[in-house]
A and B are shown apart, each in its own frame.
Chain A
């Protein structure tokens, strides 16, 4: 199983740079539409951590991308504040949000565009795992 780790500094420009590297690595394991879903969901997840994660000074974000038989699994680790227990379960469909809202779409997009999502926060670390691929067209 092919995998690669990425270290993302807690800055918005580092998110954009990391996404280019992640997509280059994952591109041959996903259909084009699945890769777009990964790019949107992972960008939203990393941006949320940078803007709202409350990471300690100097701390970064770890991303591990694994090519699995049905697509790609992405694990995101950060040492910031734990998220509310129901944050992802309570997310609304992005299509149901106020279309004129200027914010608040990040978590709904992560949930809607990933094929599986698991979050675990313990021992001072957050671990979000997203899977992409295998969705019927």
Chain B
């Protein structure tokens, strides 16, 4: 029996596709701002929202969205006023949110409070067609906002003081980012659960930043990785009968470890290659200079010397002059450079 033969799995895969795409697109700004745990804090606040929804018999998605956005705006205002540190404000929000949620849910009539688990750890297969519609709406709004304001959000996340000095609306942009995080939290609630939300925002960015060279590349790669782990994790959970949230997060962590070790391996072989090339130079030693006969080649902020077709970059170390191999240039360097 195929995966796509079930309506609930179709909806589940659709939901995980949206979450996989949206969560990293917002999360990368949190990583840049070194505020990775904001998503967790807002997830806890969303639980209070869920509880209010259950108690008042309104849709928990909407009440969670309202609670998370209120929490997001509150934390930015506290940070901007500067009386309490962002760290402490976040902690208060964390515990207040989850305590409020647990207490309120316990007041609910018997039978309803039992689905606390599905909010904490995700219950993707219970996604209703209405949920899918709401998620699609949230996804479009979040992705549009990031596309429209991405560069400003990057500017504020990268160097808040500079952004303020040149007159970008720092507080406004911070509130917008926090509201985007809150929306993403609510979107991810069903798929990975409130306790694991940050994982899908942070892990794809953490993997992407190991591989990418630019911020733009990082965002696109993070979204790609997010979709990959989210959809494949959901599919895997169908066959293994494990919870979707935990499966997705474990997949993402496995990928993170894999990429980290691949990058480490690449760097160490590059260092070994570097040492071998240094040996090449040591085999016929002299100090490069204007009179050594090797053509000088300006390279960025220093001068390389063309040494039998490979470029030597001298730099001073504690033990004298050391030569780096700055390859990549053809044998004959352009004479006018």
Q: Is B one of A's binding partners?
A: no
Chain A positions within 8 Å of B, measured between CB atoms, are none
Chain B positions within 8 Å of A, measured between CB atoms, are: none
